[in-house]
């Protein structure tokens, strides 16, 4: 797949909280069809940027475009419908529901009512089971999600995101708090899903994972990109060292 300019992009995106400019005129183009990483020190605005892009919060100004469509400030379900799925830094699963039902809820939270009423669509159940096999937790189908390890919950959340069949997947710290064996599995899954044509945008602190997995890295500092490029270039950029080390 070639790097097309028509993927996810922002122009001068800005969001303040009181006097803090969490995202500060950030203009970023992600590489469509690739694995993109967004890195930066704590407080550099990565999560706020993610939330603005996925409609969880409205930016103060600037634009977000996807596939040449303006999606700025659209509500999350509209952005999901445009083809962008996301996970959350602190996993969002329903702890008292079974693993299978969590996947069935997927991105369509409005299905929750049907599930509570005991109604399951057979084709959706089949798809959910396939996805549980895919992420490697099908043996836990009937377990309560709250009893899964944190890493398994991340895999469950990914299966839920895949229920919506998104073309672009945004993951907020997929390796955070996860044991090394499961980090390896999550990395392999991201690679496989990318090879099938899905674009990734991953916020991650685990530098080994970022450097081994990504095609393109964007580095944030104080709410805006300060460097970008392939991992080998970004890693050697003095501005990046300065941002991380504060020298
Ligand atoms: P990162 O994800 O890179 O750690 P964040 O986007 O979480 O960065 O935060 C960027 C800045 O915005 C920080 O200074 C943070 O304290 C501030 N911030 C983020 N969310 C809020 C909020 N809801 N209310 C007030 N300040 C916030």
For residues 39-54, give the mean pLDDT: 94
Least confident interval from 105-109, 120-124, 134-138, 177-181 = 105-109
What ipTM does the predicted assembly reach?
Answer: 0.98
Report d(CA 74, CA 57) in Å as an integer: 9
Say whether pLDDT at 227 is over 70.
yes
Ligand 1: nearest atom to the Cα of 44: 3
Q: Which residues line ligand 1 (CB under 6 A)?
A: 17, 20, 22, 40, 42-48
pLDDT of residue 92: 73
For residues 49-56, give the mean pLDDT: 93
Q: Which of 18, 26, 48, 210 to mutate to test the pocket of ligand 1 (most atoms within 8 A of CB)?
A: 48
Q: How far is the CA of 226 from the centre of ligand 1 (A)?
A: 18
pLDDT, tens only, 199-208: 999 999 888 8
Least confident interval from 31-35, 44-48, 119-123, 167-171 = 119-123
pLDDT of residue 66: 95
pLDDT, tens only, 150-204: 889 989 989 999 988 999 999 988 888 888 888 999 999 999 999 999 999 999 9
All domains of the chain, ordered by start, with CATH?
Answer: 9-245 (3.40.50.300)
Q: Which helix (H) or strand (E) holds 15?
A: strand 9-17
Alpha helices in the chain (DSSP H): 46-53, 76-81, 99-105, 112-116, 122-135, 150-163, 180-195, 207-213, 231-235, 238-245
Using pLDDT thresholds of 50, 70 and 90, give the confidence band for residue 112. Answer: low
In this structure, the number of other CB atoms found within 10 A of the CB of residue 233 comes to 13
pLDDT of residue 2: 45
Report d(CA 50, CA 57) in Å as an integer: 9
Q: How far is the CA of 175 from the centre of ligand 1 (A)?
A: 20
């Amino acid at each position: 797949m070639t790097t097309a300019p028509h993927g996810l992009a922002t122009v001068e995106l800005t969001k303040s909280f009181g006097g803090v400019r969490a995202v500060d005129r950030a203009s970023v183009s992600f590489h469509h069809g690739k694995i993109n990483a967004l890195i930066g020190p704590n407080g550099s605005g990565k999560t706020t940027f993610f939330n603005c892009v996925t409609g969880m919060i409205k930016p103060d100004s600037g634009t977000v475009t996807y596939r040449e469509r303006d999606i700025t400030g659209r509500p999350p379900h509209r952005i999901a419908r445009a083809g962008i799925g996301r996970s959350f830094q602190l996993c969002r699963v329903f702890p008292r529901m079974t693993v299978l039902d969590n996947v069935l809820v997927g991105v369509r939270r409005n299905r929750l009512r049907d599930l509570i009423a005991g109604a399951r669509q057979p084709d959706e159940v089949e798809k959910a089971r396939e996805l549980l096999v895919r992420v490697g937790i099908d043996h836990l189908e009937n377990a309560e999600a709250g009893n899964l390890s944190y890493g398994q919950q991340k895999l469950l959340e990914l299966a839920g995101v895949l229920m919506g069949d998104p073309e672009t997947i945004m993951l907020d710290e997929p390796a955070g708090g996860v044991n090394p064996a499961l980090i390896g599995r999550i990395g392999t899954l991201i690679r496989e899903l990318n090879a099938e044509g899905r674009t990734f945008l991953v916020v991650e602190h685990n530098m080994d994972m970022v450097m081994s997995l990504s095609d393109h890295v964007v580095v944030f500092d104080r709410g805006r990109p300060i460097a970008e490029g392939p991992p080998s270039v970004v890693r050697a950029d003095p501005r990046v060292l300065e941002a991380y080390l504060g020298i």
